[in-house]
Structure 1
Amino acid sequence: MFCKSASQLLKELAYNDNDQLTPFNNDIFEQVFRKCDEHHLHLQSLMRKIQDDGLDIQTTRNSDHFGAVIHHLSLIRNKRCLMAYMYNRAEIIRSLRWKIGTIPPEEIQSKLNYSEEEYFKNHCAALEDMIPPNDPSILVRVRCDIGDVLLGDQVASITD
């Protein structure tokens, strides 16, 4: 079945608590990544076959076209599942910074892969380097008068 491994990654996220970090599932992640490569190769070969037969890619509706569509959609779905998996893990890692500080305990660090460890370090460094503004007010310069503008629950007139 196409995209079965990719859906397993997302089911893993769904079964866990939102703030609970599970070990990075490198085996399934790599399987999905390899499936993406396979779908890409199949897609390329089908597109090449259509072109070699002298058919128009835009208007041809034969078995090769529909096979290419299936591989293309499977490739997109797998990529989206991989991105959703990584994005949700990144969200959890960002929230951990505020809960545990800059140094994660060993039980959390063992659940991260190398790129997630680097992401956590870079995220912590970025937060430490932030300097709050001295003045809380903002000066806005207007180039031309556009009339009245609705800002939330009030109306403001923007002029030169």
Structure 2
Amino acid sequence: MYGRKACQLVKELTNSESGQLTTFNNDLFAQVIEECEAHFRDLQALFMKMQEEGTSNQTTKNPDHFGAFMHHLSLVRNKRCIMAYVYNRAEVVQNLGWAVELLLPEEIEEKLSNSEKEYFKNHLATLKSYMTDMDIDLAVDMVPPKDPYIKVRVLENMGNVALSDQEANLAMHAILFLRRTDAEQYISQGKMEELTV
């Protein structure tokens, strides 16, 4: 039956957890592409036959017309299923670009097709290029902060340090209010800790 294999691709998406990737189903994907090519060949053959007979698509409704219509609808449905499969996987891969610094973990990389690996690599390069050009780290705070200043405790003696808006003495065990952007680099290095109320 037409469209069954494409439907299996979409079912595979719905059966997996949201935001999680299953292994790219190359075999089923290739079978759907082959089915699309067969529909296209049959559609072209029916159009050629109708053209040779001199029948009009608009006025004559014969078995060839309905057959062509059926192949066209099957082709469109398969295309929509393939696009949904690829688009949803691309969204997950794109979100990985925000979570992963440089390389994908091996267990995730095994699940990707070659084109998805290339897409991830290009997406990550684009993100890094943009952040470098704009001199901003977009991956720092995925949730907007309520306050631009945070309370921190200094864990290592760093002496006088020039921050974006002031110079501060970062002595060990000092408790300070610093701009979030200034403190995050030291927090990530383990030289400070954020104090929460």
Q: TM-score per shorter chain, which class?
A: 0.7 to 0.9
1:6-155 residue pairs with structure 2 within 5 A? 6-130=6-130, 131-132=133-134
Distance in 2 (alpha carbons) for counterparts of 1:39 and 1:8: 18
| Residue matched to 2:181 | none
Between Structure 1 and Structure 2, how many residues are aligned?
A: 134
Distance in 2 (alpha carbons) for counterparts of 1:128 and 1:100: 12
Gaps of 5+ in 2: 137-197
Structure 1 runs of 4+ with >4 Å offset: none
Distance in 1 (alpha carbons) for counterparts of 2:126 and 2:98: 13
Distance in 1 (alpha carbons) for counterparts of 2:45 and 2:38: 11
Q: Larger relative contact order (C-alpha < 8 A, sep ≥ 6)?
A: 1
Gaps of 5+ in 1: 135-160
3-state DSSP of counterpart to 1:93: helix
CA drift at 1:58 = 1.8
1 or 2, which has the higher helix percentage?
1
Letter in 1 for 2:18: N
Distance in 1 (alpha carbons) for counterparts of 2:34 and 2:42: 12
Distance in 2 (alpha carbons) for counterparts of 1:43 and 1:60: 17
3-state DSSP of counterpart to 2:134: coil
Q: So what's the TM-score if we normalise by structure 1?
A: 0.81
1 or 2, which has the higher strand percentage?
2
Contact 1:39–1:71 at 8 Å: present in 2 too?
yes
Letter in 1 for 2:44: Q
Distance in 2 (alpha carbons) for counterparts of 1:79 and 1:88: 14
Q: So what's the TM-score if we normalise by structure 2?
A: 0.66
Identity among equivalent pairs (%) = 52
Distance in 2 (alpha carbons) for counterparts of 1:2 and 1:33: 12
CA drift at 1:133 = 8.1
Letter in 1 for 2:134: P
